[in-house]
C-alpha cells in the first residue's frame, strides 16, 4: 500500500522546510519504501517563489477531496511578518482551513518550523504538545498549544518540528514510523546526515 504525502508550498515558504523533507522522503522511496511524495499548492498555479528566491513548479493541488495520508506544512516569513510566507497565509486563512478539513478527514498533519503556526491557526495544536522555530515560541505560547523543548514532537496525528533543519529529523522520524528505525537510519546514512531527536 502506497502512503501519499503532500508538502504544501506557498509564496514565501522557507526552502529547506519543504525541500529537506521532500528529499528525505524521495530517497526513502528510491530505496523501495512505497511513498508517493509531491509538492502541492492550495490553488492551481504554474510557479511558487520561496523565501530565498527558489522557484518551483508544483506537482498539483492539495487533495482536500481525496485527502493524502500525510500533509507536511513548511514555514517561512512568520517572524518578520512578511507579506509572503506563513504569516501571510495564516492571515489569509485558506491554508489553516484546509488543514483543519484534512485533519478531520483523517490526514496526519505535520509542520516544520513556523508552519506549526498555521497548524495553530487551524486549531490543531490546542491542548497538544508542540514546537516551532525558536523565534516564534512566544507566539506559539499564546495559542492553545503546550510548548515543549524538543527537536520535533509526535502527538500521533499531529507532528511539529523546530526550526528549518529540524524538518530533516521530522521526515526521518516519519520513515521510522512508517517502517522502522533501521530504514530511517539507512536514509540518514545515505544522505550523510546525523539524526537528532
Q: Which residues are catalytic?
A: 113
3-class SS at 26? Answer: helix
The x, y and z cell numbers of residue 137, run together, are: 515560541
**Rounded Cα gap, residues 43 and 40, in angstroms:** 9
Sign of the Cα pseudo-torsion (131, 137, 140, 142, in order): positive
**Rounded Cα gap, residues 154 and 160, in angstroms:** 7
3-class SS at 61? Answer: strand
Strands 55-56 and 3-8: unpaired
Of the chain, the end-to-end C-alpha distance in Å amounts to 28
The helix (H) or strand (E) run that includes residue 98 is helix 94-104
Contacts of 116 (CB under 8 A, 6+ apart): 73, 75, 125, 130, 131, 132, 136, 140, 160, 161
The x, y and z cell numbers of residue 128, run together, are: 497538544
Amino acid at each position: 500500500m502506497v502512503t501519499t504525502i503532500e508538502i504544501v508550498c506557498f509564496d514565501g515558504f522557507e526552502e529547506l522546510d519543504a525541500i529537506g523533507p521532500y528529499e528525505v522522503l524521495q530517497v526513502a522511496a528510491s530505496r523501495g519504501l512505497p511513498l508517493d511524495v509531491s509538492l502541492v499548492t492550495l490553488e492551481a498555479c504554474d510557479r511558487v517563489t520561496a523565501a530565498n528566491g527558489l522557484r518551483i513548479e508544483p506537482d498539483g493541488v492539495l487533495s482536500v477531496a481525496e485527502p493524502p495520508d500525510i500533509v507536511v506544512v513548511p514555514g517561512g516569513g512568520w517572524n518578520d511578518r512578511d507579506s509572503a510566507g506563513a504569516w501571510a497565509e495564516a492571515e489569509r486563512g485558506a491554508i489553516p482551513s484546509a488543514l483543519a478539513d484534512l485533519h478531520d478527514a483523517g490526514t496526519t498533519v505535520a509542520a516544520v518550523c513556523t508552519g506549526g503556526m498555521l497548524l495553530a491557526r487551524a486549531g490543531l495544536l490546542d491542548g497538544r504538545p508542540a514546537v516551532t522555530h525558536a523565534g516564534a515560541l512566544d507566539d506559539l505560547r499564546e495559542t492553545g498549544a503546550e510548548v515543549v523543548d524538543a527537536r520535533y514532537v509526535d502527538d500521533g496525528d499531529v507532528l511539529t518540528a523546530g526550526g528549518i533543519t529540524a524538518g530533516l529529523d521530522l521526515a526521518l522520524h516519519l520513515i521510522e514510523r512508517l517502517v522502522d528505525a533501521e530504514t530511517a537510519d539507512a536514509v540518514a546514512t545515505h544522505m550523510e546526515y546525523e539524526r537528532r531527536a
